[in-house]
């Protein structure tokens, strides 16, 4: 009788409305029924990203989305600049190297993000065909100022390729207004879906570059998806149940309105950060992302004990640290199907667990602080 | 994107394991498959109530369970004493009168329960064939000392008929040890099931009385259910999906252990009462039930606004008052599929809603107090 709750920064909990839609009998995808569904989904995805451009849906993970973007849109006659401020930035550089793309990694101190000024300075060299940015670096719980960066990139011929895996649907993101060229997303984060869908949004500026490249990839060749999309179709067998679920999830988000979804997420994140501060705990990021919060363990509390105890006693799944931060931090999500009551419950579970493991904290301090902040959630 | 939560004292939320079991394809009930299932369910029900006697399962509500008990077990040559300390006690007297049973209502001040001494005094007259007690009077959030009352009744020939609708599975209840003769239960409370099942547990002493009575009822004649039960069967079409769900729910409870389920429920109730006191709110009962807590509204807060706001903003369903307490109180449940994180979230929602409606409360005081108590939940 332990109620399981996902506070991991993906996968996140899925609303019952979505689960029920996905549990319905399967239908075939080479039908008008699928095309009508997919048409509605595609409209919802454009609204999600504030774009009139194409949003492509692949069966795959967020990594597949980013790999498709990189293999298709990184010019082979130019250098690709990858901002590496965490495990995901590091991965996008690895993907580039896999395909022999000339990549330059810019190392960013963990807990901070590349700045617009740094991007502008690099672009001034004229060397780069694409700038790859992780909007919300999940491993360090850190957000980049994407709008300011996009304002620099759009002045040039370079493409801005963005890992929006833990940002789309959680942090403000307006592709067309800001001038973001490519965005890669996974379904299991703010979109309130199980894992299994990779989304790639592509601007007209990006298509022009992509059309000059012959990618050494078949399944991840975005051009095949663009061709089918004209008929609200897909080139290869789609993950039908997940796409049905996505229709429901997008409808739920749009019924609230994206700006409100973002501000709600920000409120949950703020409450968590302030609650941790009230408990005397230190958060890991100097530019915190509102989709995920990373918290240093107090002295004497082991990562293994903490995550095991909070899960077995309170059903709360939280994530540990990665790379250099493994064993030193834990991370909790504010994305998707999470509300103030969940968040305050999660903070209570953090208090109970730290107390049980001997940390010196005053039980009730965190939840009281969080309640004061969450009162503003609308 | 409002997450719906039932804190009403029935129906209560149903665990996903139970929902999934009930969603499986239907099978026929006149089969060995059903008998095997029902055999296991019946063992689980005996364990739930600490009895070796029969526990009968009817398709019906808790009211049907109590009506079956009363029509079958109230001797027509004796008086039935009904303790009326709330809307449910009142109902059992009405049921008796419907069947022309000679009933004496003992009026009990709301927020208190009939005592063992009062029962003993009444029994001394030799006038009564049955004493009808509401173990947990949901309308007044009040519990009777059933063990002490049973100790008095078992000394006599009278039967102790108990409305355990919001007590079985929530409050300590040991039928055989204590000497309780008949217990009526509804599925939608501590049993973590949807409404639709009525359970009636019957002691040997009660069967001896029932065998002397020819009840003016067909569907609610317990003797038909007893006859089928010998073959792990039912006389009329059973609510198959609910019985399948009950198997899962009982297994979940027994995996934890009933004593622990009771003590957990008590801890949630204690945390809620202490949180309300910390907020300066008054609870309604002088002998509070641990399955449900009743709270007076602070001055200036209307029942309609409160319940509408807490539901629309935070998805929390709570109950209002009944009878004389309508409009004056609200009630929240601690039964079944509810844990500390839910409870602390519910208390936060009460704080937010009262604050939004202009009550003078210090946000955070209730949740902090609850966290201190809930730390003890094991």
Tens-digit pLDDT profile for residues B129-172: 999 999 999 999 999 999 999 999 999 999 999 999 999 999 99
Give chain B's contact residues with A (Cβ, < 8 Å). Answer: 1-3, 5, 15, 23, 252-253, 255-256, 261, 314-316, 337, 339-342, 344-346, 348-349, 351-352, 355, 363-365, 367-372, 374-375
Four-point Cα dihedral A37, A43, A49, A50, nearest 10: -170
By DSSP bridging, strand B5-6 and strand B316-317 are parallel
Query: Which residue, A127, A118, A133, A114, is CA-closest to A156?
Result: A127
pLDDT at B378: 87
User: Strand locations in A157-249, DSSP E?
Assistant: 159-163, 182-186, 197-202
What pLDDT score was predicted for residue A98?
A: 97
Q: pLDDT band at residue B2, thresholds of 50, 70 and 90?
A: confident
Instruction: Answer whether A5-10+258-374 and A16-256 agree in fold.
Output: no
Exposed / middle / buried, residue A77 (Cβ in 10 Å: 0-12, 13-18, 19+): exposed
Q: What is the predicted pLDDT for the residue at B119?
A: 98
- Could you report the predicted ipTM of this complex, rounded to two decimals? 0.93
pLDDT digits (tens, 9 = 90+) for B242-261: 999 999 999 999 999 999 99
**Residues with Cβ < 8 Å from B116, sequence gap 6 or more?**
B145, B148, B149, B151, B152
Domain A16-256 has CATH 3.30.70.260: no
| Chain A residue numbers touching B15 (CB-CB < 8 A) | 1, 3
pLDDT at A62: 97
| pLDDT < 50: residue spans in chain A | none
d(CA A105, CA B360): 56
pLDDT surpasses 90 at B225: yes
Give the per-residue pLDDT at B1.
80
CATH code for the domain defined by A5-10+258-374: 3.90.1150.10
Distance, CA of B180 to CA of B198 (rounded, Å): 18
Contacts of B332 (CB under 8 A, 6+ apart): B7, B8, B9, B272, B292, B293, B295, B318, B319, B346, B350
Q: Model confidence at B344, in pLDDT bands (50, 70, 90)?
A: very high
Q: How many Å apart are CA B343 and CA B334, to the nearest integer? A: 8
Q: To which residue do tokens 């055999």 refer? A: B39
C-alpha–C-alpha distance, residues B147 and B172, integer Å: 9
Interchain proximity B345–A341, CB inside 8 Å: yes
E strands within chain A?
5-6, 54-59, 79-84, 103-107, 128-134, 136-137, 142-143, 159-163, 182-186, 197-202, 292-296, 316-317, 319-320, 329-333
Q: Which residue of B has its CA nearest to A261?
A: B1
Mean pLDDT computed over B198-222: 98
A325 secondary structure, DSSP code = G
Cα distance between residue B198 and residue B211, in whole Å: 21
What percent of chain B shows pLDDT beyond 70? Answer: 100
Report the DSSP beta bridge partners of residue A6: A317
Q: pLDDT at position B92, please?
A: 98
For chain B, the domains span 5-10+257-374, 16-256
Angstrom distance (rounded) from CA B335 to CA B13: 9
H helix or E strand, kind and range, residue B197: strand B197-202
Who's near B122: CB < 8 A, 6+ residues apart? B81, B106, B128, B131
Contacts of A342 in chain B (CB under 8 A): 3, 341, 345
We find that the CATH architecture of domain B5-10+257-374 is Alpha-Beta Complex (3.90)
Shortest alpha-carbon distance between residue B342 and chain A (Å)? 7
Amino acid A2: pLDDT: 87
The three-state secondary structure class of B156 is coil
Residue B188 is predicted with a pLDDT of 97
């Amino acid at each position: 009788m332990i109620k399981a709750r996902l506070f991991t920064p993906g996968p996140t909990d899925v609303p019952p409305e979505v689960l029920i839609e996905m549990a319905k009998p399967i239908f075939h995808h080479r039908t008008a029924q699928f095309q009508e569904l997919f048409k509605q989904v595609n409209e919802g995805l454009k609204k999600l990203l504030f774009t009139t451009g194409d949003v492509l849906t692949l069966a795959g993970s967020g990594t597949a989305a980013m790999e498709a973007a990189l293999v298709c849109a990184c010019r082979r006659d130019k250098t690709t600049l990858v901002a590496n401020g965490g495990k995901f930035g590091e991965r996008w550089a690895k993907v580039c190297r896999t395909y022999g793309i000339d990549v330059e990694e810019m190392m960013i101190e963990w807990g901070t993000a590349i700045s617009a000024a740094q991007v502008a300075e690099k672009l001034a060299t004229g060397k780069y065909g694409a700038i790859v940015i992780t909007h919300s670096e999940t491993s360090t719980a850190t957000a980049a100022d994407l709008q300011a960066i996009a304002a620099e990139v759009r002045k040039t011929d370079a493409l801005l390729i963005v890992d929006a895996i833990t940002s789309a649907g959680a942090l403000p993101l307006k592709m067309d207004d800001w001038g973001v060229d490519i965005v890669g997303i996974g379904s299991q984060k703010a979109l309130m879906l199980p894992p299994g869908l990779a989304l790639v949004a592509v601007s007209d500026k990006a298509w022009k570059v992509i059309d000059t490249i012959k990618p050494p990839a078949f399944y991840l060749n975005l051009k095949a998806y663009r061709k089918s999309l004209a008929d609200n179709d897909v080139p290869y067998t789609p993950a039908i149940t997940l796409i049905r679920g996505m229709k429901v999830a997008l409808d739920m988000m749009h019924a609230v309105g994206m700006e409100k979804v973002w501000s709600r997420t920000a409120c949950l994140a703020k409450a968590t950060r302030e609650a941790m501060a009230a408990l005397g705990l230190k958060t890991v990021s100097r530019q915190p992302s509102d989709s995920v919060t990373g918290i240093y363990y107090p002295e004497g509390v082991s990562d293994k004990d903490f995550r095991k105890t909070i899960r077995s006693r309170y059903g709360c799944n939280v994530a540990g640290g990665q790379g250099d931060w493994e064993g030193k931090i834990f991370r909790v999500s504010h994305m998707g199907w999470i509300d103030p009551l969940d968040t305050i419950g999660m903070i209570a579970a953090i208090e109970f667990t730290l107390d049980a493991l001997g940390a010196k904290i005053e039980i009730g301090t965190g939840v009281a602080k969080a309640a004061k902040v969450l009162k503003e959630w609308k």
